[in-house]
Amino acid sequence: MDFDVKDRGLAGKGKLRIEWAAQSMPVLRSIQERFAVEKPLKGIRMAACLHVTTETAALAKTLKAGGADLRICASNPLSTQDDVAASLAIHDEIPVFAIKGEDKDTYYRHIHSALGHSPQVTMDDGADLVSTIHSDRRELLPGIIGGTEETTTGVIRLRSMAETGVLQYPIIAVNDADTKHLFDNRYGTGQSTVDGIVRATNRLLAGSNFVVSGYGWCGRGVAMRAAGMGAKVIVTEVDPLRALEAVMDGYRVMPMAEAAGIGDFFCTLTGDIHVLRKEHFQAMKDGAIISNSGHFNVEIDLEALAEMAAKRRPIRDFVEEFQLADGRRVYVLGEGRLINLAAAEGHPSSVMDMSFANQALCSEYLAKNHATLKKQVYRVPLEIDKDIARLKLASMGVDIDTLTDEQVKYLNSWEMGT
Ligand code: ADE
């Protein structure tokens, strides 16, 4: 079997860590048990471009249990957990092409390897499979029945492809399920981003000025958790509604030009380019720590920072010091890549349980319904979203109320008034 991982010798460690993660993924486990019996993905060739983590391993085993012929590559050069990649290849016989720290050429070579069996279904986290297929591998298009997309940035790109008539097969936007973005993007990114910053720096957040750029679901989560650790959070935004929400959530809101000179920590989560740039680096305090938790490594203008720097050196794992001409130092975490996956382990398993339950059930949905789908970006069917919420609550031992007949009648009537 063809695969490319850093070190097969890490497989034993990976197996144990995968087992640990799976213990917190009861919803995915119940899907895996059903898939093993029903085989809804029997013989379907799938390529998944995901962060290769213990949680992704649990998803991969579920898809395989469902009968899929699966290949996996990384969706970010720094997010692969090499022990997990080794275990999936050695113990589960899943072709994995992913090495932490791989260069750009290797990253794209691995994407092409994952496409090596001419997949019928693609599973993306950032749309790299879809964009590679639509630009370099168009011969694969006729065989593809559909795909799924995990993240906000990917969904934005795919919607623009659909609107301009470029998209050539249906995509289900897993990110937009309520059981995905309300939990993974908020609580997952909130915890894992703070975890990444703390693991990389071992600095105290309490009492610091922590600038969060972007107040989408991910930014909301990071602001909430940084505040929970005692940081004084400042939010920067371009959207007036989100800015207003941040104000009423209790944070200071100001332009980055102002925040740049105040922040001790900065974290970008906007999905846009050069959110931190030359004019901001010029205003930063000595020792400012900057990081990104948005999907791509474009949010910090690292080229500008490199040009401004008189000296640069790695000072500890995942921390690079840039010394400016006047002696001030700015620290960049994880090369400006997703800090939660570069320096920590990504979102905790119990939240990925819901995200990946969506991925598994949407793959099944595509297998069953692809013939009726158009070249569009679809929402996750509401029944799937609600089922996952129900299963998650049940796994947590939480019961909820049901409407009485009188209440159902009331909600469906318009006659009853004041
Ligand atoms: N994205 C964020 N956290 C993740 C994780 N733990 N596994 C896979 N993808 C992720």
| Domains of the chain: residue spans and CATH | 8-180+347-395 (3.40.50.1480), 188-342 (3.40.50.720)
Please tell me the predicted confidence (pLDDT) of residue 323: 98
Quick one: pLDDT at residue 416?
80
Q: Give tens-digit pLDDT for 253-283.
A: 999 999 999 999 999 999 999 999 999 999 9
Longest dimension (CA), the chain: 75
pLDDT at 172 over 90: yes
How large is the average pLDDT for residues 142-155?
Answer: 97
Q: 58: Cβ below 6 Å to ligand 1? A: no
Closest of 7, 106, 114, 102 to residue 50, by C-alpha:
114
String of DSSP letters for 34-75? HHHHH-TTTT-EEEEEE--SHHHHHHHHHHHHTT-EEEEEES
Q: Which of 56, 75, 152, 353 to mutate to test the pocket of ligand 1 (most atoms within 8 A of CB)?
A: 56
CB 347 less than 6 A from any atom of ligand 1: yes
Phi/psi of residue 28, each to 5°?
A: -65, -35
CA of 279 to the centre of ligand 1 (A): 33
What are 17-53's pLDDT values in tens digits?
999 999 999 999 999 999 999 999 999 999 999 999 9
Q: Whose CA is nearest to atom 5 of ligand 1?
A: 346
87-139 pLDDT, tens per residue?
999 999 999 999 999 999 999 999 999 999 999 999 999 999 999 999 999 99
**Percentage of the chain surpassing pLDDT 90?**
99
Predicted pLDDT at 322:
98
What would the pLDDT profile of 179-233 be if each residue is shown by its tens digit? 999 999 999 999 999 999 999 999 999 999 999 999 999 999 999 999 999 999 9
Per-residue pLDDT, 264: 98
CA within 13 Å, CB half, 85: 27
CA distance 224 to 226: 6
Give me the chain's average pLDDT, please: 97
Burial readout 332-369 (b: 16 or more C-beta within 10 A, e: otherwise): bbbbbbbbbbbbbbbbbbbbbbbbbbbbbbbbbbbbee
185 lines ligand 1 (CB under 6 A): no
Task: Count Cβ atoms within 10 A of the Cβ of residue 4 and give its class: 0-12 exposed, 13-18 middle, 19 or more buried.
Answer: middle
Check pocket membership of 53 for ligand 1, CB cut-off 6 A.
yes
Q: What value does the mean pLDDT take over residues 61-82?
A: 97
Question: For residue 329, how far is its CA from the centre of ligand 1 (angstroms)?
Answer: 31
53 C-alpha vs ligand 1 centroid, how far in Å? 7
Task: Evaluate if residue 240 carries a pLDDT over 90.
Answer: yes
pLDDT higher than 80, residue 418: no
Cα-trace Rg, the chain = 22
CB within 8 Å of 166: residues ≥ 6 apart: 134
In percent, the amount of the chain with pLDDT more than 70 equals 100
Strands laid side by side in the 232-236 sheet: 252-253, 232-236, 209-213, 265-268, 288-292, 329-333, 319-324, 309-316
Q: Is the dihedral of CA 181, 184, 189, 190 positive or negative?
A: positive
Q: Are strands 288-292 and 329-333 parallel, antiparallel or unpaired?
A: parallel
**How far, in Å, are 11, 21, 32, 79, 345 from residue 49 at the CA level?**
20, 20, 20, 12, 17
